[in-house]
Amino acid sequence: MTLPASRYDIVFLGGGAATLSLLMRLVRSGSCADQRFLVIDSSDKKINDRTWCYWEKGTGYFEAVVHRRWSGLDVKNVGVDLDLGFDSGLDGYEYKMIRGKDFYNYCHVELQKSGQVDFFQATVLDASLDSAQLRLELKEFSEPVLVSTTLVFNSIAPDLSALRSQRKGFINILQHFKGITIESSELNFDTSRATLMDFRTPQTHGTSFFYVMPLEKNKALVEYTLFTPSLLKPAEYDLGLKNYIGEQLGVSNYQVVEKEFGVIPMTNYPFKFYDRGLFNIGTAGGQTKGSSGYTFRFIQKRSDEIARILCSESKVSDVVKKLQALSKTPARFHFYDNVLLNVLWHHYHPGDQVFTRLFQKNKASQVFRFLDNETSLPEEIRIISSLPTGPFLKAALHSMG
């Protein structure tokens, strides 16, 4: 097994949403028509390994592969049923779903057609760039592999599990979920609405809720999501799904047509955009929102910024300089994330009540903008003041200490 070539203009480590989102912009721009790109990933990306759901106004960059969209959302808890629709705070936002398989296929077809991109299946163990020479340690090779290149983008996130005892104040809550797509003649969904969060499930493991994304009147993606320090046993996800579908959806006979499982870090770990000659993107570059786990929209914003630089500068030194000067997320948003993580980590207040109250006391559009790091300081003060003062003040002091 050998690499397709020994030299590339840009090498991408990891071939998921962050890499493909950036590559699509570069190939489509026409400004990089003479460049060659290499993508290394352990998977061939031919299975539906994940589903991205996100809120957005108007037409997004990947509108062509949006599988479903909803103009109304529900947030539920015991005794609470919030209607987040156009008339109650969405203000033009839609909730959209993109299936991993559709996304990968859409990007791969266009990128391969360009003739500029080579895909290589291998597992990256370590990588560093020095003097236009990328040194790769790949699981499938006994010796390091050297590739001539001037830019490397890495989307392979570090393993955070070993850092808990090494960093004071470090928090890494796992957002883990099992989703199943079910079909049943007993279902009769309003396909214009989806359930964003339904907390009517035992909170014994930690903050737990369900997504329900209707795909057809008798078909939906039902996802059991938890924010906890560790994963459940496989049978516990299945039991949670079975109980919810029976008790809250009122369905006893259904067929499972698809399954998915995922883990997203909710952490205050300070991800670096630039490290050892590599530019980190996606979760590895801090594009996963620490307090919510949302990633897709942040990836699109960062891809726009990077692509503008790569398409407008010809000298590598200028590209590197401008990339390193890209604006960082304002520190106050990291602080807000850290405070909420401390609330959840130290159990200062039940997570299901925090998120329910967030949507009870604020317009959904304002919450979305806040979670997208797009609000002004006065807006943020109003949102924060709607949350329980005591627990959040305690968490704020803890996060500063």
Q: What is the pLDDT of residues 58-76, one digit of tens each?
A: 999 999 999 999 999 999 9
Tokens at 210, concatenated: 């369900």
Q: What angle do CA 80, 188, 192 make, to 5 degrees?
A: 70
Give the per-residue pLDDT at 59: 94
Question: Does residue 56 form part of some domain?
Answer: no
d(CA 31, CA 12): 18
Mean local confidence (pLDDT), 262-286: 93
Buried b or exposed e, range 71-96, using 16+ CB within 10 angstroms = ebbbbbbeeeebebbeeebbeebbbb
Whether 371 and 222 share a structural domain? no
Question: Does residue 21 form part of some domain?
Answer: yes
- Quickly state the pLDDT bin for 400 (edges 50, 70, 90): confident
> What angle, 0 to 180 degrees and rounded to 10, lies between the N-to-C axes of helices 316-324 and 296-312?
150
- Quickly state the pLDDT bin for 247 (edges 50, 70, 90): very high
Q: What one-letter code names the amino acid at 305?
A: E
Question: Does residue 266 form part of some domain?
Answer: no
**Chain centre distance of CA 212:** 18
Residue 161: other Cβ atoms inside 10 A? 10
Whether 110 and 26 share a structural domain? yes
Whether 391 and 243 share a structural domain? no
Mean local confidence (pLDDT), 202-216: 96
Give the per-residue pLDDT at 74: 95
Question: Does residue 135 form part of some domain?
Answer: yes
Q: How many domains does the chain have?
A: 3
Residue 86: pLDDT over 60 = no
Whether 120 and 135 share a structural domain? yes
Please state whether the predicted TM-score (pTM) of the whole model is above 0.95. no
Question: Does residue 179 form part of some domain?
Answer: yes
Give the per-residue pLDDT at 89: 59
Question: Does residue 84 form part of some domain?
Answer: no
Closest listed residue to residue 99, CA positions, set 183, 208, 181: 181
- Quickly state the pLDDT bin for 5 (edges 50, 70, 90): confident
**Between 328 and 206, residue with greater pLDDT:** 206
Give the per-residue pLDDT at 131: 86
- Going 385 to 388 to 389 to 395, the CA torsion angle's sign is negative
Per cent of the chain over pLDDT 90 is 85
What residue numbers bound the domain in which 306 lies? Answer: 10-49+99-157+271-324
Helices (H), 58-165: 100-114
Tokens at 283, concatenated: 């979760």
Question: Does residue 164 form part of some domain?
Answer: no
* Final residue before a domain boundary, out of 261, 285, 311: 261
Whether 31 and 124 share a structural domain? yes
DSSP H or E run through 127: strand 124-130
Whether 43 and 141 share a structural domain? yes
Whether 354 and 213 share a structural domain? no
- Quickly state the pLDDT bin for 88 (edges 50, 70, 90): low
Whether 320 and 342 share a structural domain? no
* Final residue before a domain boundary, out of 210, 231, 261: 261
Give the per-residue pLDDT at 166: 59
Question: Does residue 75 form part of some domain?
Answer: no
Residue 90: pLDDT over 90 = no
Give the per-residue pLDDT at 61: 97
CATH value at residue 133? 3.50.50.60
What confidence tens digit (pLDDT) does each residue in 130-143 have?
A: 889 999 999 999 99
What is the SS3 assignment for 30-73?
CCCCCCCEEEEECCCCCCCCCEEEEEEECCCCCHHHEEEEECEE
Residue 200: pLDDT over 80 = yes
Longest dimension (CA), the chain: 63
CB 207 within 8 Å of CB 352: yes
Q: What is the DSSP string of 208-271?
A: EEEEEEEEETTEEEEEEEEEESSPPPHHHHHHHHHHHHHHTS-----EEEEEEEEEEEEE----
Residue 376: pLDDT over 90 = yes
Whether 310 and 279 share a structural domain? yes
Give the per-residue pLDDT at 169: 83
* Final residue before a domain boundary, out of 261, 287, 316: 261
CB 289 within 8 Å of CB 45: no
- Quickly state the pLDDT bin for 313 (edges 50, 70, 90): confident
d(CA 54, CA 142): 41
What confidence tens digit (pLDDT) does each residue in 322-364 have?
A: 999 998 899 999 999 999 999 999 999 999 999 999 999 999 9
Whether 115 and 32 share a structural domain? yes
Whole-number average pLDDT of the chain: 93
